Structure 1
């Protein structure tokens, strides 16, 4: 069940991502994992006419951007997903464990929710699995 609050959060995520990426892009694929006291978020985007994605952590190294603004936007992104996680709790929905958020440059969004407890799996293993599934 999507609520108005969820829709607002998803739109804010899109706006933040657009602001974080300093070049034209075709598609963004974001992974978010949130649980009590823990959150991890990273994303990749495909620049226009490029086959290789750019990893979110590489943006500040590759582009001459305002690092303070970039950190602020990254924090806002984390806050969005923590709000989303709390919204699932408030709505008495099955508790969200992870989410893949896909956005294309036409504004179409796709969401894949994960509900299984993955807290015992290493971050590296989760990221490798996610990349193998989504970065094809």
Structure 2
């Protein structure tokens, strides 16, 4: 039971991480210091897709699932197993990737524009 719980908790954390990669730049509009965390998350997230780097969260989930007597994720990984073909059609994968890039770029552009229009002396969170 403990390994199953660890695997499920890892999957939930992985979902939250993917959501943060997509939306964290908008969060930085209000909590400006979090932009650096978002930049790191985006670099890591995109590197796992572009360079097919193994994600430690996928490795942890697989390890815990195997220890719980369950099948692990397929070699294609977390996104392919939980998102592609589930939240959007498999044939739209490239479109979804482009939309994620657009969402990140727009969030960073908005972050920059909001920073330029801030009042001098305004507190930074």
**TM-score > 0.5, shorter chain as reference:** no
Bin of the TM-score, shorter chain as denominator length: 0.3 to 0.5
Question: TM-score if structure 1 supplies the norm length?
Answer: 0.31
Question: TM-score if structure 2 supplies the norm length?
Answer: 0.32
Q: Which of 1 and 2 has greater Rg?
A: 2
More strand per residue: 1 or 2?
1
